[in-house]
Amino acid sequence: MYRLFDTYIRSVRILLFVIFTCSISSPLAWGQSNDATVLLLNSYHPQYPWTKALTDAVSETLDGRVKSENLHIDYLDGRFMIDNATYRQTLKQRIEVKYAKINPDVIIASDDYAVNFLLEEGDRIFPGVPVVYVGVNFLSPELANRDNYIGIIEGVDIEGNINLMLNMLPDTESLILLCDSTNFGQHITKLAEEIINTNRTTHGWEHVDFDVWNNFTLPVLYERLSVLPDNTAVLLLAIHSDKDGRYFSYTDDLPDLTTASNSPVYGMFGAVMLGQGIVGGNINSPMNQGKHVATLALNLLSGASISDLPKSTMGSFSPKFDYRALKRFNISANQLPQGSTIVFEPHSNVFKTEQLTYALVAIVVITSLGLVFYNNVRRRVAEEKANTDALTKLPNRRAADEWLSKQWTLSTGHQKGFAIGILDIDHFKRVNDEYGHDIGDTVLIHISKRIQKVLRNSDRLYRWGGEEFVIYFDFVDPDTLDKVGNRLLHAIRHTPIEPAGTITASLGIAISSDFESLESLLIRADTALYYVKQNGRDNLSRVSAS
């Protein structure tokens, strides 16, 4: 009975969390804080699990705080081109051209390749922009001395992992450290050798024969691993490629490596290694680090001084293991460090059935509490989406029809009327033909923002379709309408949008009358617009109620 109640309580919490999340995710309940722009510059391609997990964590943390179109995510593909000078030169040109018109307020740099790129080129391409780094293995003097750089040092817990391995497997006589011969590989190899030499006596490692393997082809490596003697363990530091330049994929090649090895393989980079055949180790988490740096970025965007935030924070490691690999090498739970997490552990069918039964009972009980509220939230979100133009985020034609019909009904028989304006961007087809639809979309977005800034609080703007917008004018008098309309055209005309240059628009306005239908009013506004189009464009025409 206690387990049923406990499951019920946990299920209630989960459902309420889902409901709460849905409600705050709705545009009705959650506003954007500002127009800040963030650039997430990743060292590696998203096929690299660490990069994907960290990118997801950053995106989720910024969601709702930074507009989705203002989060720019780029990948430098450094794992494929880690020591390629020609690629690096081309990369400088690509980044400089791509972001010539995008001025990020904060840059989040993931892993050493991107951070080193910014240390060399950032002041020239992104002058004065603060950088929040993550995934950096070592705090170099140059990074430490940059006043506009803060972040997390990922580190490499070589010492901690060697201690963990020898405590779990005290009979170990030989410990192989795997790395490659890239610049990073040479650096981490040197660090490992320094750690071993420094701690061999103090940590009681005298009985262990350490050997660094960093010069191999993958087939030869697999063969050597398959014939390791008893009482041997392997610590995989990092491999980008073998000595022939063949790329090492942690998704495709690591399972082959761990399968070939007749000794347990340990590692420290959880997102890329765990689940690919390694036993486990002191593991780091890209999700935690991604959330951390995204929070630092939000602090900067909120006005915090970079000098008041921690210069660097060390990433954390915790013991985590793969149940399947533990079973393969007959390592029991008693051999694991205290506080260890075991993943990929199966449950018995009886246990699964019992838990499923409790969960189903709990869901049935709480459905009546949450379903109505949840459906109401979903309905509101769906209505909001159906009434919003996906590109400009303005109310769309469907929303305009509903609002104008309502206002028409309210104004009929009363002295107070209103006016309808139809605004059309001049020569918009030429913009699409000459510069492409992406630039055309940019023009539409900029024009919509310019119009909103000029309109009065009582007016309303709608995306009617194509390059046309409909404006509801809360009617005052014809002269006021003309002034507002001319201000709109002036704001559009005097705000060039590169590379299209100067953009103009034409506006037709019709004042409502008690003696016509809404459809007739729209036709008169469209006729007024047509008159402007036939007489030179970049102007307005107004027809009165009479």
Residue 527 lies in a domain: yes
Q: Token pair of 432, please?
A: 């699409």
Do residue 335 and residue 212 come from a single domain? yes
Query: Is residue 467 among the annotated active site residues?
Result: yes
Phi, psi of 463 (to 5 degrees): -85, 115
The one-character DSSP state at 275 is T
The domain total for the chain is 3
Strand partners, 210: 175
DSSP state of 395: B
Amino acid at 398: R
Q: Are residues 132 and 171 in the same domain?
A: no
Beta strands 468-474; 460-465: pairing state: antiparallel
187 shares a domain with 124: no
According to DSSP, the β-strands at 418-425 and 505-511 are antiparallel
219 and 339 assigned to the same domain: yes
Residue 485: inside a domain, yes or no?
yes
Distance (Å, rounded) from C-alpha 304 to C-alpha 300? 5
Q: Are residues 177 and 45 in the same domain?
A: no
**Which residues are CB-contacts of 181 (< 8 A; sequence separation ≥ 6)?**
214, 215, 243
Alpha helices in 236-285 (DSSP H): 254-260, 270-273
In a domain, 14, yes or no: no
Sign of the CA dihedral running 297, 298, 301, 307: negative
> In sequence order, what E strands does 117-173 have?
131-136, 149-153
- Which value, to the nearest 10 degrees, does the dihedral of the CA atoms of residues 427, 430, 435, 441 take? 50
Q: Based on the domain organization, do 57 and 149 belong to the same domain? A: yes
Q: Are both 118 and 235 inside the same structural domain?
A: no
Considering the candidates 154, 159, 467, 498, report the single residue annotated as catalytic: 467
Residues in the chain: 546
The CATH number that applies at residue 421 is 3.30.70.270
Tell whether 484 is covered by a domain.
yes
Same domain, 432 and 471: yes
Partners of 153 in beta bridges: 136, 314
**Residue 363 is assigned to a structural domain of this protein:** no
pLDDT in tens, the chain (546 residues): 434 444 444 444 444 444 444 443 333 333 344 589 999 999 888 877 888 889 999 999 999 899 999 999 999 887 666 567 788 888 888 998 989 888 899 999 998 889 999 999 999 999 999 999 998 877 888 888 999 999 988 778 899 999 999 999 999 999 999 999 888 888 889 999 999 999 999 999 999 999 999 999 999 999 999 999 999 999 999 898 999 989 888 889 999 999 999 999 999 887 789 899 999 999 888 888 899 999 999 999 999 999 889 888 888 889 999 999 999 999 999 999 999 999 988 864 544 555 667 677 777 778 767 777 777 777 777 777 888 888 989 999 998 888 888 877 776 655 567 889 999 999 999 999 999 999 999 999 999 999 999 888 888 999 988 899 999 988 768 888 899 999 999 999 988 888 989 999 999 999 887 667 888 889 999 999 999 999 999 999 998 765
> 118 with 180, same domain?
no
| Whether residues 446 and 512 fall in one domain | yes
Q: Are both 414 and 515 inside the same structural domain?
A: yes
In a domain, 387, yes or no: no
239 and 278 inside one domain: yes
Structure tokens at 66: 């930074």
Helix, strand, coil distribution of the chain in percent, nearest 5 = 50, 20, 35
Residue 273: CB atoms within 10 A of its CB come to 25
The pTM assigned to this predicted structure is: 0.52
Q: Is residue 378 part of a domain?
A: no
Residue 92: name the closest of 105, 76, 81, 103 by CA. Answer: 76
Domain range for 141 is 31-154+287-315
Question: Which CATH number fits the domain that encloses residue 247?
Answer: 3.40.50.2300
Nearest to 182 by CA among 170, 190, 171: 190
> For residue 443, which of 499, 487, 404 has the smallest C-alpha distance?
499
Residue 385 lies in a domain: no
